[in-house]
Amino acid sequence: MPIYQAPLRDYQFVLNELLNIYQRTELKGFDEIDADLADAILQGVADFTTEVMLPLNGSGDVEGCKLVDGKVIAPKGFADAYKQYVDNGWATLTCDPEYGGQGLPECIGVFATEMKTATNMAFAMYPGLTHGAYAAIHAHGSDALKQKYLEKLVSGEWTGTMNLTESHAGTDLALLRTKAVEAGEGLFAISGEKIFISSGDHDLAENIIHLVLARLPDAPEGVKGISLFAVPKIMVNADGSLGEANSLCAAALEHKMGIHGNSTCVMNFDAAIGELIGEPHQGLKAMFTMMNQARLGVGVQGLGVSEIAYQNALAYAKDRIQGRGLSGVKDPSQAADPILVHGDVRRMLMAQKSFNEGARALIGQQALWLDEAERHPDAAKAKAANKLAALFTPIVKGFITDRGFNACVDAQQVFGGHGYIHEWGMEQFVRDIRIAMLYEGTNGVQALDLVGRKLMGDKGATLMVWSEMVKTLIGENMANDAMKPYLTGLMDASRDLEKATQFLAVNAPKNPDILGAGSMPYMQILGITVLAWMWTRSAVTALAALESGTEDKAFYERKLKTAQFYMSYWTVQTRSLRKQVESSSELLTQLEEADFDL
């Protein structure tokens, strides 16, 4: 079975030192937490995930879910593990205390999510989708709807899903056909078929609340005619007790590449009774509350699975002996040296390590922006934080899952042929995390959202706000010789980002198709650059700790070496990516359909 050690020390570094969250007492509720409380919670999650969830990851992958007599049965052990999860209160961490939640900041909650997805991504998806359903109802539901559903969703006694996709309507939700008609007393009858529904049916909870996009009879065409409905698997009586089964079912289980332990269903709604969430024809707005929550969660999946893959590759590289180091024998006591001495193995491992730690810092920052948007008493500052979080959502979802998948492949490569064999667990990590590049909006869609809505939508204003933050960081540290290895990489990447941005700004008005053609390399440039920003901030923090005479000298020295590797290995890639934006984008728009033929 694969091993896993929760990166608790790195969580402390990000929360306590890099983001300094315990000094942010102006944010609502932050004065009620301290480092000891956060450490205790994250330690508890670490214990649960390593002792309960991790042992079920491999067996759940082999067994998968089963559809028996119209009901889905999760893999052996999942139901018991989920009961422990609920009983321990892990479902409630970041939810509203009014409905039984603990009210913790998102910047703490994301690291609990990382540990869950690292140890058992398929299992973690059941409560993950539930939290998204909670967020949508909490933000857009009526008071009656909140009272009816939120307490049970917060506790985890009931779970939730998100029903968007239809066989003919994936990214383009304007094409969806599921219908809703009034059924009296404020209720609606929902009819249609949805596919690819994660956690669509299972035996972990007594009820499932499906959030379903559908069209009312008077709905206008396109996305402006979509409404959102809460459709329970089991009807809920006025007193909160469960009544009769609703007229919906899991018609089939999808046959998938990975995440076998999660029930990905084809869902049929046959005049199933539901209630409107928010206003008629405003469903996409409400659903995007859930989707933005989910996109952060998917980015965390990219990090979590990359982290556990790295840890196992590192352990294998230290233990596996093959050949001798090129500069001579490193371990005369053995017949060969550990493969960790070989340069290319080191390259793959450090590429993973530097990505993981940089991505973790960015995810912490993204979650803090979301906390500021929700909790800051100054409306202007809350709005500014929300804009930054919106700008970097495609990076968290798209860039981190792209590079997280690549990191998992590198980890598998460290194992050589053994990485291809099921028993080692590496091929499962690769299969499981592949979905993160596809669902909640493919990464190509994320890149297009970045350049189309986020960059061009406000004419680069939010990007400029962040760019000024980068320039300030550089200016504050230019006189420090110890910072030069880190500042050089950040400045180089920033220049490439600026040039790529200018190219799109100048050429897209003349040829809008250039945005789509250049969007993916542009997203990679911004992703590499924002991680360079986080690594530069990390280097400032680590140097300050060393200068103060810390007792944890080895940790900070490793942090600086990893930062230096990131700057020397990752930031040099932005130049070639910029050239892709500038050189190939227009050519792609000029090709005829016949040019793609064999």
The token pair at 280 is 């008629």
Distance CA 147, CA 318 (A): 54
- Element containing residue 37 per DSSP (H, E): helix 35-48
Are 302 and 236 spatial neighbours (Cβ–Cβ below 8 Å)?
no
What amino acid positions are annotated as catalytic residues?
Answer: 440
CATH architecture for the domain at 286-449: Up-down Bundle (1.20)
Give me the amino acid identity at 202. H
Question: Helix %, strand %, coil % for the chain, to 5?
Answer: 65, 15, 25
Alpha carbons 255 and 263: distance in angstroms, whole number: 10
217 close to 181: Cβ distance less than 8 angstroms:
yes
Two tokens at 358?
């940089």
The answer to whether the beta carbons of residues 306 and 408 sit under 8 Å apart is yes
SS3 339: helix
Dist CA 400 CA 437 (whole Å): 9
- Dist CA 577 CA 598 (whole Å): 27
Write phi, then psi, for 173 (nearest 5 degrees). Answer: -70, -10
- Specify the pairing of strand 158-163 against strand 207-214: parallel
Q: Where are the alpha helices (DSSP H) in 450-512?
A: 461-477, 484-507
Backbone angles phi, psi at 97, to 5 degrees: -60, -25
CB 72 within 8 A of CB 208: no
The confidence score (pLDDT) of residue 299 equals 98
Beta-carbon contacts of residue 184 (< 8 Å; ≥ 6 apart) = none
The tokens of 566 are what? Answer: 């990131």
Q: What is the token pair recorded at 45?
A: 């999650």
Q: Where is 64: in which H helix or E strand?
A: none
**What is the C-alpha to C-alpha distance for residues 274 and 230, in angstroms, rounded to an integer?**
5
| CB-side neighbour CA atoms (13 Å) of 493 | 32
Whether residue 594 contacts residue 552, with contact meaning beta carbons closer than 8 Å, is answered with no
Q: Tell me which residue of 279, 201, 189 sits closest to 231, measured CA to CA.
A: 189
Can you give the pLDDT at residue 172? 72
Residues contacting residue 64 through CB under 8 Å, at least 6 positions apart: 75, 260, 261
Rounded Cα distance between 60 and 249, Å, is 23
Which ranges of 185-270 would DSSP assign to H, the alpha helix?
none
**Pairing relation of β-strands 227-232 and 207-214?**
antiparallel
Does an H or E element contain 192, and which? strand 187-198
* pLDDT score at 292: 72
- Rounded average pLDDT per 10-residue block, the chain, 598 residues: 97 98 97 97 98 98 97 98 98 97 97 98 97 94 97 98 88 85 96 97 98 94 92 97 97 98 98 96 81 87 98 98 94 95 98 98 97 97 96 97 98 98 97 96 96 92 98 97 97 98 95 96 98 98 97 97 98 98 94 96
Long-range pairs of 328-337 with CB within 8 A, sequence gap ≥ 24: none
